[in-house]
Amino acid sequence: MNVLAYLIPVSLTLGGLGLAAFFWAVQGRQFEDPDGDGQRILTDEFDDRPKP
Amino acid sequence: MAGAQTVSARPGGGASAAAIELAKVAQTWDDIVLALPSIHCGGCIASVERALEATPGVRSARVNLTLKRASIETTGQVTAEQLIAVVKAAGYQAHSLERDVLDAAGSDQTGKGLLIRLAVSGFAMMNVMLLSVAVWSGAQDATRDMFHWISAAIALPAIAYAAQPFFVSAQAALRVGRLNMDVPISLAIVLACLMSVYETTQHGDHAYFDAALSLTFFLLAGRFMDHRTRSVARSAAQELTALEVPRALLQNGTSVAVADLNIGDIIRVLPGMRIPADGVICDGASEVDRSLLTGETMPAAVTSGTALCTGELNLTGPLELRVTAAGSDSSLHRLADLVALAETSKNRYTSLADKAARIYAPMVHILAAAAFAGWYWASGDLRLALNVAVAVLIITCPCALGLAVPAVATAASGRLYRQGMLIKNATALERLAQVDTVVFDKTGTLTMGQPKVEDLSGCRRSDLGVALALAKGSGHPLACSLVAGIDAMGIAGADVSDIREVPGYGVEGRWQGETVRLGRMAWVGGRKSDRTATYLQLGRDASVTFEFSDALRDGAEQAVRSLGAAGIDVVLLSGDAPAAVGNIADRLGIKAWGAEMLPADKAARIAALRKTGHKVLMVGDGLNDTAALAGAHVSMSPASALDAARVVSDIVLLGNSLEPLAETLQVARLATRRIKENFAIAALYNLIAVPIALAGFATPLAAALAMSGSSISVSLNALRLVRR
């Protein structure tokens, strides 16, 4: 059962990374407009370079 | 709780057309938010953003397709009205949104905080659940204890952070000696944690860390959805007093605050100004727009001796007015009092959720206490009795109940929002479901509120050219509509000189050496039309008559027809003249109608309907409807309505069409049925689980299964509403 000593910290760290990524995404306002973000990739604007 | 009334002063400036027109104040906040009910694709986003960003004074514009709105950062030099015009020119409908509505429905700080708490509790729940599964599937002794300790290390900080909203609310309720839903919730979470820690130190079999966390998670999910559809209550009476003109012009040209006016003072009202105080005209002739107060479409001609009311708009000529009532005695102030009265007398509706909580919260406590007392008495084992009591508390804890209402409300208001209905009040859907009578206002609600010139094709082009030149010399609504009508035919204005407006009569000028006039029949001469009309006289020729009608709002006919088909009484109440109201009622097939109704009459009619047991939905837009809107069971107003009317309404119609009205009622009924079904599901689950828990057979596994099972079935039931 010694493998648990590695696996439990590993699983918690990976989960924690996911949680941190979610915090980052919320702060970056990525959940404010799911419909619009899907549509925006279809426009031709800023195809050559990102919006300043 | 949800129904609490928050009265907040509006930020200065505001987006109200009237306020801007009155005080000419610049927008004091530099962020404007517009609702765009008609956008639906990536192309719309691009064209709206491009149009807005090309406008001077706009720093940046961002369209949100999910919420169908645009947030615009400005330098403070543009008003919401200008931006609305820009968006309209790009081909989309737009309305300015009130800040409070945004805070409730948008992504504000509270919402973000709840979302993050939800994520934390979800993360902790999944990890602890993983460890719990190992325990349930047979981990023994030291391994089990280690898993319990790791669970505690994850669960305790996670709960201390994530469950704060419940603790805070429970504490607030207890401090005033009341019980709300959060008290049993907090008690269950805290007791489950304490009990589990104790069991872990004693090497016990069962720990409820996963249950405490999933309880927090599901309840936070409900709280988050609830937050997004929360009610925004503000006092409309305040809005009305804000409409009062702050300053008046004395006869000698000095400007004084309206509060300093005395009865008998002579004040001057220039064209384009609102009447600052009630009074009688002692000099001058003009026309006044009374639509704000009475709903009359047509401006009324006024001369010496006519009494005027605060808030009416002087259109054509300067007037001198002897003040008869000012400030708190003015008619506008009396109307505000009427609205305030209607707002307070409207018996506060208890939502289904509150009703359920009122029965449920004490019941949970009594059951848990009974379980503890019973087991302690029977076995004498304190630890066992406490364990059973905690299990009962966790199992009865209203997970499904916490989700039952918010999940349905979110699904229903999302569906209605896509059809252009903004639900402002959390209980509006439930109240809407009970409606059996719909009362409409006429001007601005069933009709567009703008006179539209009738068929011009029978007129000579040269006549139209003269009419256009003359009409451009006046700000009268009929003249404006005539200009729009003739412009649309591509006719250029004739070369008319010496154009001058004769207040109260019309416009006069010289064309090819002859005097030409456009205006009232009595002044111009001609064949009298029984409709709303204006007349054009060209020298000695016979006069030309232009007739106007008020166009019906899109979908008004369908809405009235489908309401009738659904067995709902339709009533039309208007402040306009009987002929005009009768005409509209005939066209729409409305049998019950009343004309020339004052604001108080409308409110009285609504109150009478209430007394006879009817549940009334009032649809109106004007100042004269505000008291009726406040007094009705549910109220709805178009986005074009006056601020005060919109504030008092539970539902705002964002699109131009009235057509979705009947379907809104249907969705509301469906939603209420789903809520009741959800309560039944929650009750059924308790009926099965509570005896098991009371008997002491409940394990953490059983609690986890039952809790997630009921929460998921309740959410799925709510989701059925999304489908059309």
Answer whether A31 sits within 8 Å of B115, measured CB to CB.
yes
pLDDT band at B161 (very low <50, low <70, confident <90, very high): very high
Answer whether A42 sits within 8 Å of B64, measured CB to CB.
no
Share of chain B above pLDDT 70, in %: 85
Shortest distance between the Cα of A49 and any Cα of chain B, in A, equals: 16
Tokens representing B642?
């006056």
Answer whether A34 sits within 8 Å of B154, measured CB to CB.
no
Among B317-331, B429-443, B569-583, B691-705, name the one with the lowest average pLDDT.
Answer: B317-331
pLDDT band at B722 (very low <50, low <70, confident <90, very high): confident
Catalytic residue check, B441: yes
Answer whether B107 sits within 8 Å of A19, measured CB to CB.
no
Backbone dihedral region of B116: left (phi > 0), alpha (psi from -120 to 50 degrees) or beta?
A: alpha
State the average pLDDT over residues B137-145.
83
Answer whether A36 sits within 8 Å of B150, measured CB to CB.
no
Whether B201 has its CB under 8 Å from any CB of chain A: the answer is no
Residue B251: pLDDT above 50? yes
Whether A9 has its CB under 8 Å from any CB of chain B: the answer is no
Catalytic-role residue among B278, B441, B463, B643: B441
Q: Select from B22, B3, B2 the least CA-distant residue to B13.
A: B22
Query: B569-573 and B592-594: which strand pairing?
Result: parallel
- How long is chain B? 724
Higher pLDDT, B484 or B329: B484
State the average pLDDT over residues B56-84.
82
Answer whether A36 sits within 8 Å of B65, measured CB to CB.
yes
pLDDT band at B98 (very low <50, low <70, confident <90, very high): low
Among B228-242, B272-286, B549-563, B591-605, name the one with the lowest average pLDDT.
Answer: B228-242
**Interface-testing mutation among B64, B141, B147, B217, with chain A (most A C-beta atoms within 10 A):** B64
pLDDT in tens, B4-49: 333 333 333 333 344 333 333 333 345 777 878 778 888 888 888 8
Mean pLDDT, all residues of chain B: 79
Residue B156 has what pLDDT?
Answer: 94
Residue B405 has what pLDDT?
Answer: 84
Residue B556 has what pLDDT?
Answer: 86
pLDDT in tens, B276-325: 888 888 888 888 877 666 666 677 778 888 888 877 878 777 888 888 87
The β-bridge partners of B281 are B321
Round to whole Å and give the CA distance between B602 and B630.
11
Round to whole Å and give the CA distance between B201 and B4.
44
Identify the closest residue of chain B to A10 by CA–CA distance.
Answer: B127
pLDDT band at B341 (very low <50, low <70, confident <90, very high): low
Q: Select from B347, B446, B440 the least CA-distant residue to B628.
A: B440
Residue A17 has what pLDDT?
Answer: 93
Question: Which B residues, 26 through 65, put their C-beta within 8 Å of a C-beta on chain A?
Answer: 41-43, 45-46, 63-65
pLDDT in tens, B447-481: 877 777 777 777 777 788 888 888 887 777 778 88
* Range from B63-67, B164-168, B639-643 that averages highest in pLDDT: B164-168
From chain B, the residues in CB contact with A11 under 8 A are: 127, 130
Other CB atoms within 10 A of residue B661 CB: 25
Backbone dihedral region of B632: left (phi > 0), alpha (psi from -120 to 50 degrees) or beta?
A: beta
From chain B, the residues in CB contact with A1 under 8 A are: 143
Residue B80 has what pLDDT?
Answer: 77
H or E segment to which residue B217 belongs: helix B209-228
Residue B246 has what pLDDT?
Answer: 62
Shortest distance between the Cα of B66 and any Cα of chain A, in A, equals: 5
Q: Which of A4, A15, A42 sits opposite B42 (nearest CB)?
A: A42
- Model pTM score: 0.72
Identify the closest residue of chain A to B106 by CA–CA distance.
Answer: A32
pLDDT in tens, B382-409: 888 888 888 888 887 767 777 888 888 8
Answer whether B45 sits within 8 Å of A26, measured CB to CB.
no
Q: Select from B392, B527, B548 the least CA-distant residue to B482.
A: B548
CA B96, B425, B166, B132 dihedral sign is negative
Higher pLDDT, B540 or B653: B653
Q: Select from B392, B362, B408, B356 the least CA-distant residue to B682.
A: B356
Tokens representing B463?
């006549």
pLDDT band at B159 (very low <50, low <70, confident <90, very high): very high
Answer whether B119 sits within 8 Å of A22, measured CB to CB.
yes
From chain B, the residues in CB contact with A5 under 8 A are: none
Whether A39 has its CB under 8 Å from any CB of chain B: the answer is yes
pLDDT in tens, B671-686: 999 988 988 888 888 8
Round to whole Å and give the CA distance between B436 and B417.
23
| Cβ contacts from A onto B, under 8 A | 55
